[in-house]
Amino acid sequence: MATVIATINLKGGVGKSTTTAALAEFMSAEFGYRVLVVDLDPQTNLTTMMIGEQRWREVNDRGLTLNNLFASALDTDLPEFDVEKALQRNASALESVRSVDLLASSLDLMETQEEMNAWQYEVPGSLEPLLVLRAALAGIKSSYDFVLIDCAPNLGIVTANGLLMSDAYLVPTIPDVLSTYGIPQLQKRVQKFVDHTGHELTPLGLIITKYRSSSTLHRTTIERLQRAVFEFDSAAEKDRAGRQRPPNVIPHWIPESNQIAQSAEFVDYGTLRQKYGTHGQFEALRNMTEHVVQNAGVYL
Ligand SMILES: Nc1ncnc2c1ncn2[C@@H]1O[C@H](COP(=O)(O)OP(=O)(O)O)[C@@H](O)[C@H]1O
Ligand SMILES: [Mg+2]
């Protein structure tokens, strides 16, 4: 059965989509896993990274994006969403990545997302609006080892659909003050979600993105994040009561690099090394992926 991992952060621009795409490509090309990538963000960055803008337009025009899933859940007069048809098989442009499929997002999801949020208030207390994605994927999930869900930077109903079918979550963050400021808030909101739904989620940790080794701020921020975990773990039980354990810091930082920034462009680079770069980027991404795979295996 697939392990489902959501990437979330309430902040945009922290490398969520870039990291999710890289994780999927490394899981496939380096470790041989079958991966489904689910793009829940109406910004559709992950989708265009994987299949390019032209193919996205075709998919969108044919009604084969996740927008059509949520729209048909809201309006039963619309044609039913056919997940098998919507699957973009072998979605990566890289030749060496052979087992990554995609469920595409759409800019139209921006509006549908608002309607999903409104639906929740029409049926107070019901989990039905949160179960749309899970129900749609029930029949195909077992074809994958991992399902990676890239979420929009909010915790609305569409994101909640992603969380409700996830076993675990990852939080990509840039190691600076502004980017890490909201992490305790995010953890609290996830805990509230868990309390509300009764659905447990394992925190797999923070992925440090856009790391600059020359930046003192980046280094001191990572030290602060690591120290918070250590201090929590070594605190007396009475001092921990009512506090959440800060998230682990995955010990393989993703460097800031032009090549990773350019990986957002839809081009066939051939290999992962050519695409992501050989000045430490390939190794960092490979090690990060291996760590995530191992921890998913340990905790789930
Ligand atoms: N390691 C990195 N080095 C350089 N640029 C990066 C890196 N990771 C992401 N970026 C760039 O930062 C921007 C935001 O990344 P993105 O993955 O879209 O963030 P999010 O999904 O959190 O909004 C994009 O332009 C992306 O290409
Ligand atoms: Mg994104």
The radius of gyration of the chain's CA atoms, rounded to the nearest angstrom, is 19
Residue 225 is assigned to a structural domain of this protein: no
Which residues pair with residue 6 across a beta bridge?
149, 169
Residue 220 is assigned to a structural domain of this protein: no
Q: Which two tokens stand for residue 162?
A: 């992603």
Residue nearest to atom 16 of ligand 1 (CA): 15
Q: What is the pLDDT of residue 125?
A: 84
Q: What is the pLDDT of residue 268?
A: 83
- Best mutation site among 8, 18, 209, 259 for ligand 1 pocket (most ligand atoms within 8 Å of CB): 18
Query: Which H or E element spans position 133?
Result: helix 132-137
Nearest ligand 1 atom to the CA of 264 is: 27
Output the CA 194–ligand 2 centroid distance in Å: 23
Q: Is the pTM of this model over 0.85?
A: yes
Ligand 1 lined by 261 (C-beta under 6 Å) = yes
Ligand 1 lined by 295 (C-beta under 6 Å) = no
Q: What is the pLDDT along the chain (300 residues), one digit of tens a residue?
A: 899 999 999 999 999 999 999 999 999 999 999 999 999 999 999 999 999 999 999 999 999 999 999 999 999 999 999 999 999 999 998 989 999 999 999 999 999 999 999 998 898 888 999 999 999 999 999 999 999 999 999 999 999 999 999 999 999 999 999 999 999 999 999 999 999 999 999 999 999 999 999 999 999 999 999 999 999 999 999 999 889 999 999 999 999 999 999 989 888 888 999 999 999 999 999 999 999 999 998 776
Q: What is the pLDDT of residue 124?
A: 85
Ligand 1 lined by 12 (C-beta under 6 Å) = yes
Residue 182 is assigned to a structural domain of this protein: yes
Amino acid at 156: G
Number of domains in the chain: 1
Q: What is the pLDDT of residue 290?
A: 97
Residue 226 is assigned to a structural domain of this protein: no
Query: Which H or E element spans position 5?
Result: strand 3-7
Q: What is the pLDDT of residue 7?
A: 98
- Nearest ligand, CA of residue 14? 1
Nearest ligand 1 atom to the CA of 12 is: 23
Q: What is the pLDDT of residue 186?
A: 96
Residue 138 is assigned to a structural domain of this protein: yes
281 backbone dihedrals φ, ψ, rounded to 5°: -65, -45
Ligand 1 lined by 17 (C-beta under 6 Å) = yes
Residue nearest to atom 13 of ligand 1 (CA): 13
Bridging pattern class, strands 3-7 and 35-39: unpaired
CB of 204 closer than 8 Å to CB of 292? yes
Q: Which two tokens stand for residue 5?
A: 């991992």
Amino acid at 24: A
Q: Which two tokens stand for residue 279?
A: 């000045």
Ligand 1 lined by 210 (C-beta under 6 Å) = yes
DSSP, collapsed to helix, strand or coil, labels residue 222 as: helix
Residue 237 is assigned to a structural domain of this protein: no
Residue 238 is assigned to a structural domain of this protein: no
Residue 129 is assigned to a structural domain of this protein: yes
Tokens 């077992």 found at: 142
Q: What is the pLDDT of residue 270?
A: 85
Output the CA 13–ligand 1 centroid distance in Å: 6
Residues near 245 by beta carbon (within 8 Å), at least 6 away in sequence: 229, 232, 233
CATH number at residue 81: 3.40.50.300
Residue nearest to atom 5 of ligand 1 (CA): 261
Residue span of the structural domain in which 278 resides: 3-215+248-299
